[in-house]
Structure 1
Amino acid sequence: MKTKKIDFSKFSSIHIGDTLEVSLLEDPSDFTPDYYLIGSCNNILMGTQPPKLMKLSKKYDYIKIQDNTLKIGAATPSGKIASFCKKHNIANFEFVSHLPGTLGGLVYMNAGLKEYEIFNKLISISTTKGVLNKNDIDFGYRFTDIKDPILDATFTLEYGFDEEKVELFKKMRSNQPSTPSAGSCFKNPQGDYAGRLIESVGLKAKRVGGMEFSSKHANFLVNCGGGIFEDAIALIKEAQKNVFKEFGIFLECEIIILDKRYMGDF
């Protein structure tokens, strides 16, 4: 199996992590459960004790109009999807240009902006274990129960790319910091906003080392320069502890923590 060295302090959007050897998945049969499949690392906090890592090869970076559907490989970047849909006047994917990452990650977490979610027009996905239709998958707000690596996804094909939606999504993202981050740190609890809760317990602009809950948007854990994994974990724990103490709400991480000591604990 081919491998690739990746410097996660440059590759991940939050600029944290060591240089690690990552296996490249070409043949689905090569995947085993002891690997963690990564994409472009836009929502990942890489720890100092990560699991074995694997990444899809360029074989899975494609977009096809096939049998009156849109078929997209899981390694395809969101920007490429948005550009393709604009060029071919395809509707319902205007929002993906504002969601960094690759198609596999977007589907795995049912990414979206408010009611505009990747699952809205999904028909089926192909995984290393076979095909799953949409109604075979349990999904909700930033959640799916997909267990196996996604190889590609098929969507309903509709025409009519909407520039007004592009502007709408741009405005939705205008309050987000440009400082390196992994996107929203916590999922919004039902009926409330994680950013409001973090701000309410006095943690907006709170800094530990090089990491900070952004002064622009409290639910963004940003790397102000030289931030390390331990700094990030300290802030995450402090927010969860203080919000639970004040409001009785446990903030669940939206970012994915890849460290054997913490996986599954947040």
Structure 2
Amino acid sequence: MSSKKINFSTFSSIKIGPSLDVKLLEEVNDFTKEYYLIGSCNNILLGNNPPKLMKLSKIYDYIKIEDAILKIGAATPSGKIASFCKKNNIANFEFVSHLPGTLGGLLFMNAGLKEYEIFNQLISIKTCNGKKLKKDIDFGYRYTDINSPILQATFHLNFGFNEDKIDMFKKMRLNQPSTPSAGSCFKNPKGDYAGRLIEEVGLKGKRIGDMEFSTKHANFLVNHGNGIFEDAISLIQEAQKKVYEKFNIWLECEVKILDKDYMSDSSPLIKKS
């Protein structure tokens, strides 16, 4: 099994992390539960005590039409999917161009923009544990119960690429900062918005070192250049604590925190204590 050296301070979207050897998943049998599978690291905060990491090899980077079905490898970047759909006049994937990452990561968290989610057109996924139909997957807002590396997905094929949707999705993103971040820091609690809650407890613009809850959108934890893991964690914990004390709402991280001190059963969590 081959590996690749990755410097996460340049590779990850939040620009934090050490240089590590990451195993490349090529054969199904290469994967074991001692590894955490990563994609392009657009929603990951890597700590100083990370688990063993694995990444899909390039053999899972493809997109094709077969038997009137769209088949996409899980290592395929979202931008490549969007370009393919535009070129081939394929509908219902216009929003993907505004979701950074690879298909596997998008599926794992059911990524989307409001009601437009990657699961909407899904038929099935192929994982290291075999094929799973959409109806056999428990999924919801930024959640799935997928617990095995995704290798490929199949989607319903509909034609009619809509340029107007591109403009609509672009406007949805205008309030988001361009400063390096891992995307939305917290999931929106039911009936509310994490950004509003963070602002209400006075943490919009709160900065520790080079890490800050953005002045443009409070639910984005941004790195102004030399941010470190410890400062990011301090801000996350402070937001959780203050929001819980004022609103009795526990903010659940949307960013995946890969550090053994903040993980349980392979699911990244910030401790309440």
Letter in 1 for 2:122: L
SS in 2 for 1:261: helix
The CA RMSD over aligned residues, in Å, is 0.5
Tell me the residue number matched to 1:142: 142
Note the 1:24-39 alignment, pairs <5 A. 24-39=24-39
SS in 2 for 1:212: strand
Tell me the residue number matched to 1:86: 86
Give how far 1:124 is off.
Answer: 0.1
TM-score (norm 2): 0.97
Give how far 1:84 is off.
Answer: 0.2
Letter in 2 for 1:102: T
Tell me the residue number matched to 1:12: 12
Give how far 1:225 is off.
Answer: 1.3
Tell me the residue number matched to 1:242: 242
Give how far 1:67 is off.
Answer: 1.0
Tell me the residue number matched to 1:190: 190
Letter in 2 for 1:182: A
Note the 1:116-195 alignment, pairs <5 A. 116-195=116-195
Tell me if 1:76 matches 2:95.
no
Tell me the residue number matched to 2:59: 59
Q: Deviations over 1:240-266 (max 9, x none)?
A: 000000000000000000000001433
Q: Deviations over 1:58-102 (max 9, x none)?
A: 000000101111000000000000000000000000000000000
Tell me the residue number matched to 1:257: 257
Give me the whole-angstrom Cα distance separating, in 1, the residues matched to 2:149 and 2:41.
Answer: 15
TM-score (norm 1): 1.00
Give me the whole-angstrom Cα distance separating, in 2, the residues matched to 1:214 and 1:12.
Answer: 18
Question: Across the two proteins, how many residue pairs are aligned to each other?
Answer: 266
Give me the whole-angstrom Cα distance separating, in 2, the residues matched to 1:66 and 1:116.
Answer: 24
Give me the whole-angstrom Cα distance separating, in 1, the residues matched to 2:225 and 2:58.
Answer: 31
Give me the whole-angstrom Cα distance separating, in 2, the residues matched to 1:159 and 1:144.
Answer: 27
Structure 1: gaps (5+ residues): none
Tell me the residue number matched to 1:22: 22
Give me the whole-angstrom Cα distance separating, in 2, the residues matched to 1:118 and 1:213.
Answer: 27
Give me the whole-angstrom Cα distance separating, in 2, the residues matched to 1:66 and 1:232.
Answer: 44
SS in 1 for 2:244: helix
Identity %: 75
Give me the whole-angstrom Cα distance separating, in 2, the residues matched to 1:183 and 1:86.
Answer: 25
Give me the whole-angstrom Cα distance separating, in 2, the residues matched to 1:101 and 1:37.
Answer: 13
Tell me if 1:208 matches 2:230.
no
Give me the whole-angstrom Cα distance separating, in 2, the residues matched to 1:74 and 1:4.
Answer: 18
Stretches of 4+ aligned residues off by more than 2 angstroms: none
Give me the whole-angstrom Cα distance separating, in 2, the residues matched to 1:34 and 1:168.
Answer: 42
Q: Deviations over 1:25-52 (max 9, x none)?
A: 1001110000000000000000010000
Give me the whole-angstrom Cα distance separating, in 2, the residues matched to 1:131 and 1:221.
Answer: 36
SS in 2 for 1:92: coil
Letter in 2 for 1:49: N
Give me the whole-angstrom Cα distance separating, in 1, the residues matched to 2:28 and 2:172.
Answer: 37
Letter in 2 for 1:156: H
Tell me the residue number matched to 2:46: 46
